[in-house]
Amino acid sequence: MTHPPQAQAPPQAPAPTRPQLPPQPKQKQPRQTPPPARSTAWSEGVDRLRAAATTEPGRLRAIGALLAALLLAFGAVTTWQTTTRADAADRVLNRSQPLSNDAAAIYRSLADANTAASSGFLAGGQEPAKVRERYRRDIDRAGEKLATAASNAGSDSSSAAAVSRLNTLLPQYTALIERARANNRQGLPLGGAYLRYANDTMQTRMLPAAEKLYKAENARLADDYADAKPYPWPAIALGVLALAALALAQHRNYRRTNRVFNTGLLAATTATAAALLWLLAGHTFARSGLNESYDHGVKSLNVLNDARISSLKARGNENLTLVSRGAETVAVGGATKDKFDVAYQQQMQRLAGANGESGLLGEAAELADDDAGRTPLKAAADNVTEWQDRHSSARASDDSGDYEGALDKVIGADGAEPTGESFDNVDAALDTALAHEQGEFQRAAEDGKSAMAGLPVGVAVLAVLGATAAVLGIGRRLSEYR
C-alpha cells in the first residue's frame, strides 16, 4: 500500500542581517587641568624676599640683617674663645703649676727623708734630734702633699696610680727605717741591712712613682699652656670680615647718597674696630706673659728641682757608702767598686758636669735672667766643688782603714769640715734659687692672666652695641623711603 507523499515545508527565508556600521572613532575626554599647587609658607616667604630684594628698601633691610648677624657672631665667638683661654691661664696660675710644684715637693721630701735617715744612722745609737726632726718633717710634708695630689688627680689618671702606690709604700718605708733605728741603738749589724733595704725601696719603687707623678703634673701644666696661648683665629677672622662688610656698606651708601658718613654705620665700625684691637692687644700681652712665665719660670723650676733632687740623692749615697762598708759592689771598667760611691759620682756628674760648671747647675744659670737668680747658683756651684774635694778626702781615709776619720769628714766632728756642711750649703742655695724663680713665674703668669681680664664681656658688649648701631644706621636710610 502506498502512502501519499507528504507535503514539504516551504523553505525559510534567511533572517535579515543588520548592516555593519563603520567603527566610530573614540571620543577623547577633555583633560582635566589640575588646580595649581599651593605654595608653602617657606616658598612664599622666599618669593616675597626675592621680590623685596629688587627694591632699594629691601636691599637695605638685607644689608642691615647681614651686618647685625656678622657683628653678633663676632661677639659670640670672641667671648667663647677668650673665655676658654682665660680659664686655661687661670688654671696655669692657680691649679696646674701649684700641683706640679707639689709633685716636685713630694719627690724632694722623700729624697731628703732618705738622706736624713742615713745621716742619723751614721751618728750611731744616739741620733741627733735635729736630724730626726728633719726626717719627721719630710715624711709629714710628703704625706700632706700626697693628700692634696690624691684630691686633684682624678680616678683614672696616671697621677692617681702614682699617688696610690706612694700611699701604700710610705708606711712600709717608715717601718723599715724604724727597724733600722731600733737595731742600730742596740749595736746590731742587722740595722744596716734594714737601712739598705729601706733605701732600695725608696730608690727603686718610691722615687720612680714620685717621678711619674711629677711628669704627669708637668704634662697637665703643658696642656693648660697649650690651651691658653694660641691666638683666637676664628674670632679675629670674623672681626676682620665684619669690618670689611661695614666698609662696603658705607661705600655703597656714599655712592647712592653722596653722603660721606652714616652716623650709625660709623659708630658700628668704631665699636667693631675697638673690639678687634682689644682682642689682638689683650691676647698678645697675655701670650707674652704666659711665654715669659714658662721660659723664665717653669723651665727654671724644672731644672732646679732636678738639681736639688740630684744633690739629695748624692748625699744619701755618700752616707750609705759608709753604712754598707763595701757590702754591695758593682763592676766598673773591669774594677770592683762600692755601689753607693758609684751612684754618688753619677749624681754629682749630673749635678755639676765634669768641670763643675755645667750639668744641671750650668743649665739653670743659663736660664736665669737676672743676678738674683744667678747668684745662688754660683754659690751652689762653688759648694759642689768644695763638697767633691771633701768627699775625696773622706774616701781616702776610709780606703786606708780609718773609718772613724772618714765618718768625721762626712757627718762632722769638732774642728772637722764635713761634706754634710757643703751639702747643706748647696741645698740652701738651690732653695733660694727655687723661691726666686717661683716668684718670677707668679709675676709673669699673673700679668698674662690679667691681660685677658674683662676681655670676653667687653668684646661682647661692643659687638652688641655695634650691631645695634648698624641697624639704626640702616634704619635712618630706610626712613627716607617712607
Q: pLDDT, tens digit, for every residue of 13-38?
A: 555 555 555 555 555 555 666 655 55
What are the backbone dihedrals phi and psi of residue 158, each rounded to the nearest 5 degrees, phi first?
-65, -30
Reduced to 3 states, what is the DSSP secondary structure of residue 355?
A: coil
- What is the model's pLDDT at position 21? 54
Task: Please report, rounded to a whole number, the percentage of residues in the chain having pLDDT higher than 70.
Answer: 87
Instruction: Give dist(CA 409, CA 122) in Å, integer.
Output: 12
- What is the model's pLDDT at position 5? 52
- What is the model's pLDDT at position 357? 74
Check: CB of residue 286 under 8 Å from CB of residue 85: yes
Mean pLDDT of 99-103: 92
Grid coordinates 660721606 are at which residue? 260
Q: pLDDT, tens digit, for every residue of 258-297?
A: 666 788 999 999 999 999 999 999 999 999 999 999 998 9
Instruction: Give dist(CA 468, CA 75) in Å, integer.
Output: 13
Instruction: Give dist(CA 470, CA 482) in Å, integer.
Output: 19
Instruction: Give dist(CA 381, CA 353) in Å, integer.
Output: 10
- What is the model's pLDDT at position 326? 77
Cα 202 from chain centre: 29
121: which 3 cell numbers? Answer: 744612722
Q: pLDDT, tens digit, for every residue of 422-476?
A: 999 999 999 999 999 999 999 999 999 999 989 999 999 999 999 999 999 888 7
- Whether pLDDT at 178 is above 80: yes
- Whether pLDDT at 385 is above 70: yes
Please tell me the least confidently modeled range out of 177-186, 323-332, 364-373. 323-332
Q: pLDDT, tens digit, for every residue of 416-425?
A: 679 999 999 9
Could you say which DSSP state residue 186 is in?
T
Reduced to 3 states, what is the DSSP secondary structure of residue 337?
A: strand
Check: CB of residue 172 under 8 Å from CB of residue 122: no
Mean pLDDT of 237-242: 95
Nearest to 302 by CA among 104, 470, 113, 479: 104
- What is the model's pLDDT at position 2? 47
Count of CB atoms situated within 10 Å of the CB of 16: 6
**Non-local CB neighbours of 259 within 8 Å, separated by 6+ positions:** 253
- What is the model's pLDDT at position 172? 96
Residue 318 — very low, low, confident or very high, per pLDDT cuts 50/70/90? Answer: very high
Please tell me the least confidently modeled range out of 112-126, 216-230, 264-278, 321-335. 321-335
Residue 230 — very low, low, confident or very high, per pLDDT cuts 50/70/90? Answer: very high
- Whether pLDDT at 187 is above 50: yes
- What is the model's pLDDT at position 274? 96
Query: Of 50-59, 115-124, 327-336, 429-438, where does the model show the most confidence?
Result: 429-438
Q: Which residue has the higher pLDDT, 51 or 118?
A: 118
- What is the model's pLDDT at position 181? 92
Nearest to 92 by CA among 267, 224, 287: 224
255: which 3 cell numbers? Answer: 655712592
- What is the model's pLDDT at position 69? 94
Instruction: Give dist(CA 203, CA 211) in Å, integer.
Output: 11
